[in-house]
Structure 1
Amino acid sequence: MIEERMKLVAKRLDVVEPSPTLAITAKANQLKANGIDVVGFGAGEPDFDTPEHIKEAAKKAIDAGKTKYTPVSGTVSLRDAIIHKLQRDNGLKYERNQIIVGTGGKQVLYNFFMAVLNPGDEVIIPAPYWVSYADIVRLAEGIPVIVPTDISSGFKINAEQLSKHITNKTKVFIFNSPSNPTGSAYTRKEVESLVSVLEPKDIIVLSDDIYEKIIYDGLEFVNPAMISTKMKEKTFVVNGVSKAYSMTGWRIGYGAGNAEIVKNMDTMQGQSTSNASSIAQAAAEAALLGDQSPVETMRQAFDVRRKLIVGLLNQIPGIDCRMPEGAFYAFPYLTQVFSLSAFQKLKQSKGESSNSKLFCEILLDQYQVAAVPGSAFGDDQAIRLSYALGEKDIEKGIERIKKMVLDLQ
């Protein structure tokens, strides 16, 4: 029966794993449904409701009968709204045939790599990285080239590292700032340094800007396309409304870049999902063109939570947490905790090779706190904690993490 079943499964799935963030969130939600008080630091989504004017726009779209198919790449009005947003916020000018709307930023990323990669093409991915990058590249028959960074470098790649990893097979470089999972964000000077390496090369830059609006301490948001006209031509920008406007469930992402790439992405999407929801597109249009004050209100709330969670984490013996410049994730290092003899004995008894995975399993099962192991992001010395939840829950959750660490002493 096993051999017969294996014949039914495509071999391409051998190279990918289910999303650990979604799996941990599902397990935490199941425990909550069973009446267990779980603090969930796993989900990467704001806890705020979608702003009212956006919801109203969706209701009006329903009442107006905008419930039919749209063009695969999105409605003309939404693509025009995206063009307006990119000009207004980033100083980048695009035409309609350079814009595509997808069912979330993840689908836009997936379609991009399916449209540009050939078997054996290399994609440079700085680590820690968002969990899906490497697996999407593998599904597109590309080769992920992981470039490690750590807390000492602010989790940022430098020009020398980038240059060393470029080969004649390099097709794409992934740039994500602010970053998931570390919250690190590049300064203009740092982006310019990377551009000095990339500009002369025949390499496409995939700029994942999904956390663009969640940035702190007055830091300027900059992506490679904003540095020069030449880099704009080589950069494909991916963004969406999920994080900035608390619209994760609406599933609207978009891409902007080379018209030929967009055309091929449109073909890919036309043979899979076709258009994103017509109602969600109307809501996204209202988000991009309407009142932007809720974005700033949420950003300020995240800023308060950022300082709270990092401050509390750094009070725990053996934990070192860097202050993130953007997004809503803390990425504390637990190297000293993992080296404790009690933890190492647990690791041996359970036959687990990953420090962060074991820590997160015990944390959820025994202390009722959901976190994502750093190994899922390419760094086994850390865990990821989303602070997109209320301050009381943050305090309660960090207190439980502290208890676990002290129990290991």
Structure 2
Amino acid sequence: MNSTFQSKLPRVGTTIFSKMSALAQQYGALNLAQGFPDYDTDPHLINLVKDYMNDGFNQYALMPGALPLREKIALKVMNTHQIEVDVQDEITVTAGGTQAIFTAIATVVHKDDEVIIFEPAYDCYAPTVELFGGKVIPVVLLAPDFTIDWDYVKSLVNARTKLIIINNPNNPTGRQLELDDIEALAQIVASSQVFVLSDEVYEHLVYDGKKPYSLLAHPLLRQRSFVIASFGKLLHVTGWKVGYCIAPLELTREFRKIHQYNVFSVNGAVQMAIAKYLEDSQSYLGLGDFFEQKRNFLIAGISSSKFTVLPSNGTYFLNVDYSSISQEQDLLFAERMIVENKIGLIPISAFYTADPNQYILRICFAKRSETLIQAIDLLNNIR
């Protein structure tokens, strides 16, 4: 490459997920690092995709998304949150949650705007902000409870603050925001010109008797927020990359200006199949119970191990503290586990700008029972 080439993301390399998955493959290790299910997709859903392909849904879909799918999204929001959203003007179907996040950030962030994120944070937030000339303002949250000091957050808000990004429930911590958190956020928004990006891709994966909560339920926040969700998590099809963004008319109008030029439209047959599938089944309503059983199974299985389990109220991730085993930096320890113990986990430091070295690893438990049994056996033998 020409030596005068100037990278727009000079500090960005291969993601930690790709690195750990590749290392796990190299050493034949069990991969619980990357967040994807290892069990089969519902055959009915796959057959629906085939049917719609055979029926000719193989050309461009509508730019905002296939109307039947937007209608089912609106119905899902009503059934889940008792909230009405406008099918025509507030819902946009996207190529996965990450593209929706990228587009929302592109919609509002200008050069030198500041964006507040909470770390540990999903790894696409900061690079996207930087790509559009924004400045990331990280709020560092620490184990074991990862609570937010909202007075401190308020102190960071100034005339340059354009966006606050939240992830609820949070990947990687598994923490779900409480209503007090939501109200504190609303007060900050009410007294500023700040917008909110609410990453709610794990909205149905909440445990311990808790209910999903969306920013759409808060009248003030709804008017200032991009709410993003994903069918990858909902239907166990992460590779299909179908998500959506819900935002008020003015924000949706600007969102679609960018969406139409970086994606334009999402796979038509898949959209139609998901719409029909949601008409036939509301299986997503049982996702909380489904994954809570897996979480509890994993926790019980490693209860006598040397790892200390941290709370997880949502997502399909569990964090464990390995400080009683080693004082190594978490990336080095995770790499050694792959090589020596044949199991791949994610070091939580990868979700921070600066590594606080908390001796914590993230486990994905969206796996078959056989996979979790194998993982439990491997983890119990690490001393």
Same fold (TM over 0.5): yes
- SS of 1:69's equivalent? coil
Distance in 1, matches of 2:266 and 2:17, equals: 24
Q: Give CA deviations for 1:359-397 in whole Å, capped at 9, x if unaligned.
A: 111111121111111111125321111011133432432
Conservation of the 8 A alpha-carbon contact between 2:207 and 2:292: yes
1:326 to 306, 314, 320: 314
- SS of 1:12's equivalent? coil
Conservation of the 8 A alpha-carbon contact between 1:310 and 1:322: no
Residue number in structure 1 paired with 2:289: 300
Structure with higher helix content: 1
Distance in 1, matches of 2:147 and 2:240, equals: 31
Kindly tell me: are residues 366 and 145 of structure 1, through their superposed partners in 2, closer, same or farther at Cα, counting changes over 3 Å? Answer: same
1:27 maps to 2:18:
no
2:357 to 380, 388, 401: 380
Give the aligned residue type for 2:12. V
Give the Å deviation of 1:338: 4.1
Superposed, 1:7-18 pairs within 5 Å as 7-8=4-5, 10-18=6-14
Give the Å deviation of 1:401: 3.4
Conservation of the 8 A alpha-carbon contact between 2:23 and 2:338: no
Kindly tell me: are residues 91 and 18 of structure 1, through their superposed partners in 2, closer, same or farther at Cα, counting changes over 3 Å? Answer: farther
- SS of 1:236's equivalent? strand
Kindly tell me: are residues 119 and 80 of structure 1, through their superposed partners in 2, closer, same or farther at Cα, counting changes over 3 Å? Answer: same
Kindly tell me: are residues 151 and 80 of structure 1, through their superposed partners in 2, closer, same or farther at Cα, counting changes over 3 Å? Answer: same
Structure-2-length-normalised TM-score: 0.91
1:149 to 120, 141, 149: 141
Give the CA RMSD over aligned residues: 2.1
Distance in 2, matches of 1:189 and 1:51, equals: 38
Segments of structure 2 that go 5 or more residues without pairing to the other structure are none
Higher relative contact order (CA 8 A, sep 6+): 2
- SS of 1:54's equivalent? helix
1:196 maps to 2:187:
yes
Residue number in structure 1 paired with 2:89: 97
Give the Å deviation of 1:213: 0.9
Give the aligned residue type for 2:254. N
Identity of aligned residues (%): 23
Give the aligned residue type for 1:7. T
Distance in 2, matches of 1:210 and 1:62, equals: 27
Superposed, 1:214-229 pairs within 5 Å as 214-227=205-218, 229=219
Distance in 2, matches of 1:387 and 1:181, equals: 12
Give the aligned residue type for 1:161. Y
Distance in 1, matches of 2:280 and 2:271, equals: 14
Segments of structure 1 that go 5 or more residues without pairing to the other structure are 344-354
Q: What is the number of equivalent residue pairs in this alignment?
A: 378
Distance in 1, matches of 2:120 and 2:277, equals: 30
Superposed, 1:1-400 pairs within 5 Å as 4-8=1-5, 10-31=6-27, 36=28, 38-95=29-86, 96-152=88-144, 154-227=145-218, 229-293=219-283, 295-296=284-285, 298-317=287-306, 319-339=307-327, 343=328, 355-378=329-352, 380-381=357-358, 382-400=360-378
Q: 116-125 or 386-395, which moves further after superposition?
A: 386-395
Conservation of the 8 A alpha-carbon contact between 2:346 and 2:361: yes
Structure-1-length-normalised TM-score: 0.86
